[in-house]
Amino acid sequence: MTKRIDDLKIVANKRLNNDFFILELRSDTKIPEFKPGQFAQVRVDDSVDTFLRRPISIHDVDYEKNTFKILIQIVGKGTDKLSNLKTGELLNLIYPLGNSFSLPDKGEKVLIVGGGCGIAPLLFLGKYFKANGITPDILLGFRNSARIIEFEEYREIGEVFVTTEDGSEGEKGYVTSHSVFSTRKYDRMCCCGPDSMMKAISAFCKPRNIICEVSLENLMACGIGACLCCVVDSVKGNLCTCIDGPIFNVNDLKW
C-alpha cells in the first residue's frame, strides 16, 4: 500500500478523560483504504524534545466524511503536546504504515482483547470484522470505571465484557482473569495492550490451538524499516515491528 505524507486538518479534538483524547483528521485528498492494525507516524511540531514522530494506531475511519480518528493516551511530552492541538490546525502524518490483523474465516468465534491505550486499534478492527460478517466478542480492561471509554461504540459491534482493577465495573482484576476465557470457546483472539497481558493470552491460546494475533508497541523511530530500532526477535529471525508488524501471530514470536 502506498504511503503518504499529509498535512491533515484537525476536525475535532475530543477529550475523553484525564488520560485519553481523540483527534479526528480530514485529508484534502481521498483517504486510503485502511487495514485494521495499521498506524501512522505523527509529527509533533514546535518542540525540541519530540524530534521523532510518534507511532499512533488508526482508531476509526469514516470514508464518507473522508476522515479518520486517532485515540491517544497522554504519557509524555509528545502526546501531551498533541492533546493541546486545536480544531482547524494541521497535523503532519506518514500513513498508512505496517501490516494488519488477518480476516477470520466465516463462522470463526473471535475474541478481541484490549487493555489501556491498546484499545486504540480495536474499534476499527471490530467494525472491519462486523462489515465482513464476523461478530466478535470484545473484552476491555481498565483501571477503574472512570477510565472506561467508548463502551457504547464497542457494543454496536458485538458483546462487550469489561474488567476493572478495582472492580468498580465489570469483573474485578485484569482482562486475563476474566471468566470469558473459561466459559466460552474461541477459534481466534486479537489483542493489543501491555506485553504482559498479550503474553498471558498467548500462553492461553498456544496449547489450545487458538489462533492469536497481537499488536506490538515496540519503541519506534523511523516507522519505515530504515533504523532497525524496533526489531523483534522472532522464530523467522529479526523482524521490524514497523514493517513486518505491528501485528504478529504469536507462533512467530519467541514468547
Ligand X SMILES: Cc1cc2nc3c(=O)[nH]c(=O)nc-3n(C[C@H](O)[C@H](O)[C@H](O)COP(=O)(O)OP(=O)(O)OC[C@H]3O[C@@H](n4cnc5c(N)ncnc54)[C@H](O)[C@@H]3O)c2cc1C
Any idea what DSSP says for residue 176? G
Which CB, 72 or 162, lies closer to ligand X? 72
What is the closest distance, in whole angstroms, from the C-beta atom of residue 184 to ligand X in the complex? 27
Q: Residue 240: name its binding partner from ligand X, ligand FES, none (Cβ under 5 to 8 Å by kind).
A: ligand FES
| Per rule CB under 6 A, count of chain residues that contact ligand FES | 13
Which CB, 31 or 210, lies closer to ligand X? 31
Rounded to whole angstroms, the Cα distance separating 184 from 124 reads 24
Look at the block and give the residue holding cell 485519553. 20
Q: Residue 53: name its binding partner from ligand FES, ligand X, none (Cβ under 5 to 8 Å by kind).
A: none
Rounded to whole angstroms, the Cα distance separating 8 from 81 reads 16
What is the closest distance, in whole angstroms, from the C-beta atom of residue 254 to ligand X in the complex? 19
Q: Are the beta carbons of 247 and 213 closer than 8 angstroms?
A: yes
Restricted to residues 165-224, the positions that interact with ligand FES (CB under 6 A) are 220-223
* 189, containing H or E segment: strand 188-192
Residues that bind ligand X (CB under 6 A): 39, 50, 54-57, 70-73, 75-79, 117, 120, 217-220, 246
State whether residue 159 is helix, strand or coil.
coil
- The yes or no reply on residue 97 touching ligand FES (CB under 6 A) is no
Which CB, 201 or 216, lies closer to ligand X? 216
Q: Are the beta carbons of 152 and 144 closer than 8 angstroms?
A: no
Residue 193, φ and ψ in degrees, nearest 5: 165, -160
Category of 85 on φ-ψ map: left (φ > 0), alpha (ψ -120 to 50) or beta: beta
Rounded to whole angstroms, the Cα distance separating 103 from 129 reads 7
Which CB, 75 or 226, lies closer to ligand FES? 226
Residues 6+ apart with CB under 8 A from 105: none
Question: Of the candidates 122, 211, 230, 250, which one interacts with ligand FES according to CB under 6 A?
Answer: 230
State whether residue 91 is helix, strand or coil.
strand
Q: Residue 246: name its binding partner from ligand X, ligand FES, none (Cβ under 5 to 8 Å by kind).
A: ligand X
- Shortest-Cβ-distance residue relative to ligand X: 76
Q: Residue 39: name its binding partner from ligand FES, ligand X, none (Cβ under 5 to 8 Å by kind).
A: ligand X
Residues near ligand FES, by CB under 6 A: 220-223, 225-230, 240-242
